[in-house]
Amino acid sequence: MDDSITQREVPGDGGDTSDGVNSMLVHCDGEIAVNAIRHLVASGKVSAGDAKLAIGHCRAATNKTSLAAEKAVPSNTIMVNQTIRKKVVEKPLSEAKYRTRHVALQFSYDGTDFTGFAQNVGKEYDNSVEKALFAALEKTRLLVSPDEQGMLVMNKDEELVVVGKCGLHGATDLNMSARTASKYSRCGRTDKGVHAHGQVVAIYLKSAFPLMAQHAKDEIDDDDDDNAGGTLLEEDSLPKNSLDGLKCLVPSKQKSKGGGRNVAKQSSLQQKIITEYDYPRILNNVLPPAIRVLGWCPVSSDFSARFSCSSRTYRYFFPRRNLDLCAMARGLQYMMGRRDFRNMCKMNCEQVYNFERILMKGKVVSPQQIYVASMEEENTTIQDGISDAHASPRDMCHVEIIGQAFLWHQIRCIMSILFYIGRQLESPELVKQLLDIETHPAKPSYDMASETALVLQHCQFNNLSVGRTVRNLWDVTKVLERRWENHAVAAERARDALESMKGETEVRWIDVVEFVEQIADSRRRKERKSINKSMTIDDDSEIRRELERRYPGTTMISWASAMNIIEDLLGVYPHPSNGSSQDQKGQTESTLHVPIMERAKGTTYEEKVQSILGEGNNGKSSKRRDRYEENVIKKRKTTEEDQAFYTRMLQQGGSSG
């Protein structure tokens, strides 16, 4: 019920209603009316179903009176208790309102062409996954506007309340956007170019079941007097998937005399078997192929895709190349448990003050072996992989990390560190140093790993069972198979070109010698400059002796043999460093590695906060300070409060059957 209009006449239904009663109802505001209905339901004199039907009739009749009254006041306003307010046109509950359901959607997307998952509303450059998702919801009309939604339900305290998509108790705020009213929540916020296979969002969507649908007589207990005339369908009685039908009574539709659209005739009901909308197939028909909805299920009203998630699993894919996977696993083992990761993330001090996160399990996976790191073990354990073939530099591997939650860019920073360890430029003990916040409170300078190989693999919920249909999964599989084939064919073309060049191309031996000596000379100059300008580093003789030893005895040499000599003598490779992105420029064969802990350090968290609080009153600085106060100071909770909140949220969920 909408209590924003506090003085409203409720017309009679054709009986001998006295003027005294009418007068009382005219001065009865929305809150009093709701309390009166609750009292009647609690007393047992009126059933919840009867109350819902009565309210539907009253709101329909009240709408006519409100529209007539609005003509007596200036355009776009109505007079309420001597207060001028914006005009609110309220449609009848029985005719214009839609039933909505709180559902969880699980979907997969290739983030290559997207600017990230989260939508930047109003930004021209925005090409986010969320923008495409909401465009599909609006196109399919599954996203119901605030003035078209609403549902009367009994809450857990046996109170009659009005619940909209936003889950508001009491009247729905008609001024909010459809997105806000949908009580939308997301599990993970992936960056530009990052992908997902198990992303989950929760949202209130339009249901196939009319708001005024009732139980069919053979669907109720005949011994229950309250149900003798049929009662409105409650949320718990609706199907939990798109396969099971439900027999129910719905208002019949009758052609209007003017030849207009069909309208529901409240007094006439017809029996139908209705199945819930197949949300995944409906959305997949209009979404771009890069985004595929996998399944759905109804969830509790308090369910949050973000806060009800118990753990998230990320995977980062990479070719083996010359990496030491065992060393990478030892570094990953040091990260297990509750750690402060401020040196392995991008600090967002305006919103985050706690940089401790829990990593529960990790894996470094190759076709031949799996290195497992966990909280329960001090050292990594080794398991057999899926292949007995000899290890190859072209083997595709991945790192899997499972944690409760993650910081901004945390996975990409972790992978960058692990790649340094895998290339044997750093030892696994580097992780211990970065996690020692007391000794090293500031993050050293290093590049993040590329976003293109990162996937949000799975979002785990304690009480969520997402339903999937054979028809939808078949269609999704066809799209994913086509995507795999396109990428696999492109990869094979590149591999074939590489192998052809190695086996069919020859170069001059003297050219190989000159290339090696040029790179070695460039390195010496950089080493001399970085260590001591007066220091002389002379290894010309060693390089020349090694080249003379490898002389093939001919003027020409195959490109495969030349590559082996260059890689062995210089320790460089023609492929980019694992995890490097196109943004990481300046990497050449003569680049020298500076140990991570010897590099320049950034500002500490405390210094960043002092900078925010100490800034002047210019626009940008003021906004940063306001965001810090709003997101950190005002919202900071005690450990006990946080524990109670997450305990309650982890209990939320739903099932598909």
Weakest-pLDDT range from 259-268, 351-360, 567-576: 259-268
Which of 32, 65, 93 is the last residue in one of the domains?
93
CA atoms within 13 A on the CB side of 372: 11
Q: What's the total number of domains in the chain? A: 2
Structural domain contains residue 497: no
Taking 50 as the threshold, does the pLDDT of residue 24 lie above it?
Answer: no
Residue 166 is predicted with a pLDDT of 38
CA atoms within 13 A on the CB side of 553: 0
Residue 544 is predicted with a pLDDT of 87
Which of 93, 108, 126 is the last residue in one of the domains?
93
Structural domain contains residue 583: no
Structural domain contains residue 206: no
Catalytic residue among 191, 278, 340, 395: 191
* Contact present, 361 and 336 (Cβ < 8 Å): yes
Structural domain that includes position 550: 506-574
Helix, strand or coil for residue 370?
strand
Residue 15 is predicted with a pLDDT of 40
- As a whole number, the mean pLDDT across the chain is 81
Taking 60 as the threshold, does the pLDDT of residue 129 lie above it?
Answer: yes
Q: Indicate the pLDDT class of residue 165, thresholds 50, 70 and 90.
A: very low
| pLDDT tens column, 275-317 | 999 999 999 999 999 999 999 999 999 999 999 999 999 999 9
In percent, the amount of the chain with pLDDT more than 90 equals 52
* HEC string for 599-621: CCECCCHHHHHHHHHCCCCCHHH
Structural domain contains residue 23: yes
Residue-by-residue DSSP string for 228-289: TT--BPPGGGS-SSSS-EEEEEEEEEEE-TTS--EEEEEEEEEEEEEE---HHHHHHTTS-T
Q: Of 192, 193, 189, which is closest to residue 112 (Cα–Cα)?
A: 193
User: Is the backbone of residue 183 left (phi > 0), alpha (psi -120 to 50) or beta?
Assistant: left
Cα Rg, the chain, nearest whole Å: 33
Weakest-pLDDT range from 50-59, 529-538, 553-562: 529-538
CA atoms within 13 A on the CB side of 107: 26
d(CA 451, CA 484): 19
Return the residue matching tokens 């497992």: 372
**Interacting residues of 593 by C-beta distance below 8 A, sequence separation 6+:** 425
d(CA 417, CA 336): 15
Structural domain contains residue 643: no
**Interacting residues of 219 by C-beta distance below 8 A, sequence separation 6+:** 246, 247, 248
Q: Which residues pair with 399 in a beta bridge?
A: 316, 364
Return the residue matching tokens 């923008």: 131
Structural domain contains residue 560: yes
Q: What angle do CA 165, 166, 168 make, to 5 degrees?
A: 110
Helix axes 509-531, 540-549, angle to 10 degrees: 160
Which of 45, 71, 93 is the last residue in one of the domains?
93
Structural domain contains residue 322: no
| pLDDT tens column, 2-13 | 333 333 333 333
Burial class (CB in 10 A: 0-12, 13-18, 19+), 27: exposed
Weakest-pLDDT range from 33-37, 80-84, 317-321: 80-84
Mean of the pLDDT values across residues 130-144? 94
**Count of CB atoms situated within 10 Å of the CB of 122:** 6
Q: Say whether 2 is catalytic.
A: no
Q: Of 105, 103, 107, 104, which is closest to residue 456 (Cα–Cα)?
A: 107
Mean of the pLDDT values across residues 257-284? 78
Mean of the pLDDT values across residues 15-37? 49
Structural domain contains residue 604: no
End-to-end C-alpha distance for the chain, whole angstroms: 32
d(CA 136, CA 208): 17
**Interacting residues of 213 by C-beta distance below 8 A, sequence separation 6+:** 99, 232, 233, 248, 249, 250, 274
